[in-house]
Amino acid sequence: MAISEQVQQRADFIGTQVITRSTGKKLGVITQLWVDVDQREVAVVGLRNTLVTGDERYMYLSNIRQIGDVILVDDETAIEEIDTFDFSTLINNEVITEAGELLGKVRGFKFDTSTGEVASLVIASIGVPLIPSQVLSTYELPVEEIVSTGPDRLIVFEGAEERLNQLTVGILERMGLGIPPWELSDEEDYIPKTASTTNQLGPGEPTTAYAPARQAAPAQQAWETEAWEAEPVPVERQEAPQQQYAYQEEDNWSDSGSSTPPSAPDPKYEREGDVWDDDYEPQELKIPEPQKIAEYEREDF
């Protein structure tokens, strides 16, 4: 395989057209590079019709025959069905030291186009490749610093920030407004001691003085010495004494009978005559006699 340049950056590889040697047909534009993290090498290349449209198709990096202004492959059979589940793009992955210190996020990498081996990582505070490197300060991290990998995270040796190679200086850092992510984490870890509330000074703003609330004096009754009369003493209501009755306790052990006198028998009344005899006498019914009314015959005129 004839290679024009052995090592290239990912950003230079993205957007390159892929054309067949046999027919000169355009297969698409490279939109993504998939990395085997365990082997630390680029294995699969993703293509689309344009950078933003079309279905993504895949081909192995080993199918490339020549790299220049365009990428040449033998024919259309270079496009294959590949499962990218076991690969990673490395873009926007966090780079953290063994001590848990954040160094930045991956925004690119350099790799050998002949073997696909990743040589170094390009990290910044924001892992978005679309942001120009002139805006953000970028740093190069050798791939040998990687200790282990995880989902969306790369673990590097402690003190790796001292071995970083700065590639570009961002505008914010030139103006003194931006600092590297690991220095920012140091400032966030510092917590100043706060004074107790009793020793804290006021904010320096004048306090608003409020007039004390006026309380009304208790009312006092004014008495005239001449017309003063003693208040009448209220008469307490007394209840009438209830009559008390003396009850004689019954002797349950004596032979004498009950002290209650026997009740007198009710007198029996006898009714003379037949009980079933009907004493009702009907009254004479008076019916008025009908009156005769004179009738007049109608005469025809």
Do 37 and 101 share a domain, yes or no? no
Residue 158 lies in domain? 94-187
Burial 250-277 (b: 16+ CB within 10 A, else e): eeeeeeeeeeeeeeeeeeeeeeeeeeee
| 126, part of any domain | yes
Average pLDDT (108-126) is 92
Determine the Cα–Cα distance for residues 292 and 289; give it in Å rounded to an integer. 10
| 28, part of any domain | yes
Average pLDDT (90-102) is 91
Give the domain-ending residue among 78, 106, 123.
78
Number of structural domains (the chain) is 2
Q: Confidence class of residue 237 from pLDDT cuts 50, 70 and 90?
A: confident
Give the domain-ending residue among 138, 154, 187.
187
Could you tell me the CATH number of the domain that includes residue 35? Answer: 2.30.30.240
Contacts of 279 (CB under 8 A, 6+ apart): none
Looking at the DSSP bridge assignments, the partners of residue 45 are 33, 59
Average pLDDT (238-248) is 68
Which segment, 84-93, 129-138, 219-228, is predicted with the most confidence on average? 84-93
Do 106 and 69 share a domain, yes or no? no
Determine the Cα–Cα distance for residues 239 and 75; give it in Å rounded to an integer. 126
Q: Bigger pLDDT: 121 or 130?
A: 121
Determine the Cα–Cα distance for residues 43 and 80; give it in Å rounded to an integer. 13
| 278, part of any domain | no
pTM of the predicted model as reported, rounded to 2 decimal places: 0.57
Give the domain-ending residue among 136, 154, 187.
187
Do 176 and 105 share a domain, yes or no? yes
Of the candidates 213, 211, 131, the residue with the CA atom closest to the CA atom of residue 178: 131
Looking at the DSSP bridge assignments, the partners of residue 41 are 36, 117
